[in-house]
A = this chain, B = another copy of it.
Amino acid sequence: MSHRYLVLGLLAEAPMTGYEIKKRIGKTLKSVTSVSYGTLYPILHRLLDEGAVQMEEQVQAHRPVRKVYQITERGQQELAEWLQQPPGADQIRREFLLKLYLARDLPPDTIQQFLRQRRAATLAHLNELQQTQDSLNGNMPLTQHWVNDYTIAMCQAELQWLNRLMAQIEANLAEHNVISEHLVSATPAQR
């Protein structure tokens, strides 16, 4: 994305440890990306090597050393340059959509259930987002608010799409049932 700039960007806000960076991303940026320690720590080491960040060790009793990272001027410059470049295209993998696409030959009931599960998951996600929005209310930087808003808008749009689609499938099924009933009621008359 690269995560390099995410780390740099967060350190531009305040000095932090790797652990804190990860927590931060999990809390306020999980709609944008996610990181594992296996990515995060090597990035920090590399940024340090390259002089984009500084590190200060805080020795603690009964704990590993806290390594607090802080952005340097070089780091800030690199970040500013990156921000000026036009952003790369979105990289999106929705296994959910792929499965839906490949569900061509599955019975409507199965598809309906699949969509219901997605709706539940999306709804849960939306609630979580709105809680974050409320809990951080006020003392949130504008840009974070915007990003949150974006994700909420996407969730809502998806829910509408899901409801439309499910209604449509439902209607189709009902129609078939009506036809079946016709046949059932017509059959005795033909006897």
Contact = CB atoms under 8 A, between A and B. Distances in A.
Interface of A: 1, 5-6, 9, 12-13, 29, 31-33, 79, 83, 86-104, 106, 117-118, 141-144, 146-147, 149-150, 153-154, 156-158, 160-161, 165
A118 B101 CA distance: 27
Contacts of A143: 100-104
- Specify how many copies of this chain sit in the oligomer: 2
Nearest to A106: B83
Contact of A95 (B1, B117, B144, B160): B1
Given A94-B32, A94-B90, A97-B147, A102 B9 contact: yes
Nearest to A165: B146
Contacts of A101: 9, 29, 32, 143-144, 146-147
A92 B95 contact: no
A158 B153 contact: yes
B98 A6 contact: yes
A158 B149 CA distance: 10
A158 B150 CA distance: 7
